[in-house]
Amino acid sequence: MAAGYNWLLVLSSVFLCNLVKTFLPSISSFLSKVLQKDAEQEMEMRTEIQNMRLELSTISMMDEFARYARLERKINKMTDKLKTHVKSRTAQQAKMKWIVNIVFYILQAALMISLIWKYYADPVTVVPSKWISPLERLVAFPSGVAGGVGITCWLVVCNKVVAIGLHANSLQLWRCADV
């Protein structure tokens, strides 16, 4: 009975891979948020800068020039520090994105290779060979069973169909979000 559902197993694996691929940016941003430790510090710095700017707007430059200049220098210093922080955070995010992508592609490749390895000799499903007559060898590759649908052919077909389906779905979601 389980042998009859090979096509479904391959299809679900491909679907899962494509689904995870769609959510890769969200996953990487979530992971970078989780792993980021100095987010609070950055927030504090931002609020502090805002407070100091407010204070600066209340000071008259003519009357209290020394105080004004001191505060302005402080704001500049803090802004520079914040910029360095943001820069390092962006670099970290890019690094995280890169690592997540690499890990995903390695896992996907491992999954595909293992599927091909498993169903190298067995077709995922069998139909009468006459139905697919001119291309039966191509469709059956690499199993070589007459009328069988080989793993490579099925993987390609599933990938294409799932990509089209997910694309149409994302398009609909995007339209809904627009409305």
Q: Which residues bind another protein (CB under 8 A)?
A: 4, 7-8, 125, 127, 130-135, 149, 154, 156-158, 160-161, 164, 167-168, 170-171, 174
Rg (CA), the chain: 29
The CA–CA distances, whole Å, from 62 to 12, 51, 75 equal 72, 21, 19
Q: In the chain, which ranges are continuous DSSP H helix? A: 6-22, 24-35, 39-58, 65-118, 136-140, 151-178
Q: How far is the CB of 118 from another protein (least distance, A)?
A: 19
Q: How far is the CB of 97 from another protein (least distance, A)?
A: 11
Question: Among 29, 28, 33, which residue's Cα sits nearest to residue 100?
Answer: 28
Instruction: Pick the closer one to another protein by CB: 102 or 168.
Output: 168
Instruction: Pick the closer one to another protein by CB: 63 or 178.
Output: 178
Question: What is the token pair recorded at 94?
Answer: 């890019």
Instruction: Pick the closer one to another protein by CB: 20 or 43.
Output: 20
Instruction: Pick the closer one to another protein by CB: 69 or 164.
Output: 164
Q: How far is the CB of 4 from another protein (least distance, A)?
A: 8
CA 8 to CA 5: how far, in whole Å? 5
Instruction: Pick the closer one to another protein by CB: 10 or 75.
Output: 10
Q: How far is the CB of 13 from another protein (least distance, A)?
A: 15
Do 159 and 13 touch, CB atoms closer than 8 A? no
Q: How far is the CB of 32 from another protein (least distance, A)?
A: 16
